[in-house]
């Protein structure tokens, strides 16, 4: 059970923004955001300090694909750089969330301000992820089209499971959050902040100048980083499942209620968590738990967030 009036970083999974993964319109997203706001408002109304983070996979992919399609129709049109697409997705997702949360709190007569911050996250230019980009983004292309993009744009293109060729970008580990002092000031003043959207816009520091780079930072690791910086009590990662499980989808599947950091490491070594699914969530939770004594992380579903905080469900990871 989470102690009263805690500082919580809440990492929202894709289901918190897109109820139907195939429907990524703005209209559908705002309706899903309104439902998501109810669970968030429950936590705020209970007296917790809540800082929000979120993913942006479908949204930034749609933006990139739109620009790519337009450029194919009219080659004279420039393709929007990937960091800018990340910032654009942060902006409109943040707008939907801040509006939905503000309206839900107003219905409950809770007077709180909500602000979305376009957040830059510093990464290391020498991160191993840049040596072998693996994160697919944007449209599918033929082999011939991909070869042109490699030559003219310098893209890294890979064949994607027989469906065509796609651009791939790196997924580096976050080092720091540029806007952290501003975020901390807003949180300390009692307001609600939406930050590191989609993992933040990845930037590298070149001789004091911040340069955006084409990459995707895992939103769970970015959420962990801002949770450390803000000295949060808890990191809560909301996903599509109520509890973390070992032997997932097997006859001996077992859901986990509370595990130690040592047990989490053992399960990781045994290969229980899928790399593109639960593994980054458990790794981010583990990193936060080990960053300072007394910290804990909870992984559960959006619908069960309040029950998880009350100790009724979810998987709690402790030191």
Active site residue 219: yes
Tokens of 36: 């998501």
* Options 86, 138, 200, 281, the catalytic residue: 281
* Options 14, 55, 57, 199, the catalytic residue: 14
Give pLDDT tens digits for 282-293: 999 999 999 999
For the cut 70, the answer to whether the pLDDT of residue 15 exceeds it is no
Give pLDDT tens digits for 26-46: 898 999 999 999 999 999 999
* Options 61, 86, 199, 219, the catalytic residue: 219
Greater pLDDT, 249 or 245: 245
Q: CB atoms < 10 A from the CB of 169, how many?
A: 22
Q: 157-159 and 165-169 as β-strands: parallel, antiparallel, unpaired? A: antiparallel
Tokens of 148: 């042109």
**Going from the N-terminus, what domains does the chain have, and what CATH number goes with each?**
7-57+86-123+173-318 (3.40.1160.10), 134-169 (no CATH)
For the cut 70, the answer to whether the pLDDT of residue 81 exceeds it is yes
* Options 135, 225, 243, 287, the catalytic residue: 135
As beta bridge partners, residue 281 has: none
Active site residue 22: no
At 265 the three-state DSSP class reads helix
Active site residue 281: yes
Active site residue 153: no
Active site residue 131: no
């Amino acid at each position: 059970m989470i102690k009263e009036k805690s500082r919580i970083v809440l990492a929202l999974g894709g289901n918190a923004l897109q109820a139907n993964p195939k429907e990524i319109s703005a209209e559908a997203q705002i309706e899903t955001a309104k439902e998501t706001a109810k669970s968030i408002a429950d936590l705020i109304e209970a007296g917790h300090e809540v800082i929000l983070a979120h993913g942006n996979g479908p949204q930034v992919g749609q933006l990139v694909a739109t620009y790519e399609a337009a450029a194919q129709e009219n080659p004279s049109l420039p393709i929007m750089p990937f960091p800018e697409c990340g910032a654009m997705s942060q902006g409109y997702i943040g707008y939907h969330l801040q509006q939905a949360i503000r309206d839900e709190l107003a219905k409950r007569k809770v007077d709180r301000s909500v602000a979305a911050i376009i957040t830059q996250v510093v990464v290391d230019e020498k991160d191993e992820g840049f040596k072998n980009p693996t994160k697919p983004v944007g449209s599918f292309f033929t082999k011939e089209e991909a070869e042109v993009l490699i030559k003219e744009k310098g893209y890294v293109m890979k064949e994607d499971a027989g469906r065509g060729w796609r651009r791939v970008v790196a997924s580096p580990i976050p080092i720091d959050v540029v806007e952290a002092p501003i975020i901390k000031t807003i949180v300390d003043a009692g307001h609600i902040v939406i930050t590191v959207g989609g993992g933040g816009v990845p930037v590298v520091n070149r001789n004091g100048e911040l340069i955006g780079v084409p990459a995707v930072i895992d939103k769970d690791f970015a959420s962990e980083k801002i949770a450390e910086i803000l000295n949060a009590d808890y990191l809560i990662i909301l996903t599509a499942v109520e509890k973390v499980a070992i032997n997932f989808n097997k006859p001996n599947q077992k859901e986990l209620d509370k595990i130690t950091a040592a047990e989490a490491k053992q399960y990781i070594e045994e290969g229980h968590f899928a790399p593109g699914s639960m593994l980054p969530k458990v790794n981010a939770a583990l990193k936060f738990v080990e960053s300072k004594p007394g910290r804990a992380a909870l992984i559960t579903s959006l619908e069960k967030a309040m029950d998880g905080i009350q100790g009724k469900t979810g998987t709690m990871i402790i030191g």
